[in-house]
Amino acid sequence: MNKLISFLLVSLFLVAVASAQTSYPNLPTEFTADVEIQVETSQSPFPMPSISGTMYYAYQKRVQRMDSTDPMFGQTVTTLDRYDQMNEYNFASGDCKCSPISGDMPLYTVLPGSTYQGQSNVNGVESDQWMFSLSPSVNISLFVDPTREILTQAVMLVSQQGTTMTTTITFSNVNTNSISDDIFEVPAYCQCPTPAPPVIPPANACPGNPPSGCNCAPALSFCSEVNYPIDSSDAPSVDAMIEQTFNNFVSFAQPTAACASNMKSFLCATLFPLCTGSIIPVLPCANLCPSCSCGAGNNTCAAALPNTVCTQYGNGFC
């Protein structure tokens, strides 16, 4: 998947849970869909050629695939993202290129703190619109078929230095049946080294001895129990964003005290993941998943995935 699409998908992964105590939809974590991707920028009077194809997505397996048609040459190109290996494979007609993936796999979900914007018609489907402000310059809108609880469209608007860029992914023919593992097999002619698994830093790594490429956070006002190595160089700004997200969630969902406390820990662990110096991202520990106190199914929670190295923030709940 090209870098622009990857940026959108990674941005959509911010928080991996939807609370059953709210009216947030519980979107599927495995699906096949026809997709059309359109990018428009204020710097160009004409839109870029759209990309159409089929997306295969299986979050629990940590894999996604996109078969698309090159808008210039008409060739079918496959992009296979294997987050379990942290490798991306691009192949067509027997040729293959591979590269390491940076960042974590996106989870298509309505984020805690999103605001309901009413309904819009997307390709004939009356869809609920949910908007989330990722930052002052980035807004993400998800359009959801409320009957089937599936995505119909995802839109990201980025405004920077007087220019805007809008990326729109439109979904159709969404099938939520299980996908065969064969779909995500790497062709034999694709060869790509895999990184070594991450190593847990010692408990006393902070404040003075973080792994290479990692930092020790200053005292934070909201996520005050981040006392482990992180990779954020602007921790106070991230801390403020987490606090705003949490406050929006509490205002909208009015959760129980246990759910609110659990959600705070999960948000802090998600957005301040333990830094190991490895390219492989570290997820929150399973006992931080808010499903037990907020009522959501654990298949909507990244922390529910098996992981030998995980981020533990404060005390576990589940």
200-235 pLDDT, tens per residue? 898 889 998 999 889 998 889 999 999 999 987 789
Kindly tell me if the per-residue pLDDT of 1 is higher than 50: no
Kindly tell me if the per-residue pLDDT of 106 is higher than 80: no
Kindly tell me if the per-residue pLDDT of 295 is higher than 70: no
HEC readout, 193-236? CCCCCCCCCCCCCCCCCCCCCCEECCCCCCCCCCCCEECCCCHH
Kindly tell me if the per-residue pLDDT of 8 is higher than 50: no
More confident of the two residues 173 and 62: 173
Partners of 154 in the β-ladder: 142, 169
Query: What pLDDT, on a 0 to 100 scale, did the predictor assign at position 15?
Result: 36
Kindly tell me if the per-residue pLDDT of 11 is higher than 90: no
Q: How many residues comprise the chain? A: 318
Q: For 286, which DSSP code? A: G
265-294 pLDDT, tens per residue? 988 998 899 998 877 778 888 888 877 787
More confident of the two residues 87 and 6: 87
End-to-end CA distance of the chain: 36
Task: Determine the Cα angle at 279 with ends 151 and 290, to 5°.
Answer: 45
Kindly tell me if the per-residue pLDDT of 6 is higher than 50: no
Q: For residue 119, report the phi and psi dihedrals to the nearest 5 degrees.
A: -110, 150
111-134 pLDDT, tens per residue? 766 788 899 999 999 999 998 776
Max mean pLDDT range (73-82, 106-115, 281-290, 300-309): 73-82
Work out the pLDDT band at 304, boundaries 50, 70, 90. low
Query: What pLDDT, on a 0 to 100 scale, did the predictor assign at position 305?
Result: 63
12-38 pLDDT, tens per residue? 433 333 333 346 788 888 999 999 988
Query: What pLDDT, on a 0 to 100 scale, did the predictor assign at position 300?
Result: 55
Question: Do 234 and 240 form a contact (C-beta atoms < 8 A)?
Answer: no
What is the set of domains in the chain, with CATH numbers? 3-184 (2.50.20.30), 215-311 (1.10.2000)
Element (H, E) at 245: helix 235-253
Q: What is the mean predicted confidence (pLDDT) over 51-67?
A: 91
Kindly tell me if the per-residue pLDDT of 144 is higher than 90: yes
Q: Which two tokens stand for residue 23?
A: 């009216």
Mean of all residue pLDDT scores within the chain: 81
Query: What pLDDT, on a 0 to 100 scale, did the predictor assign at position 161?
Result: 76
CA nearest neighbour of 282 among 272, 292, 290 = 272
Pairwise CA distance, residues 24 & 254, whole Å = 13
Work out the pLDDT band at 103, boundaries 50, 70, 90. low
Percent helix, percent strand, percent coil in the chain, to nearest 5: 20, 35, 50
CA nearest neighbour of 167 among 300, 1, 9 = 9
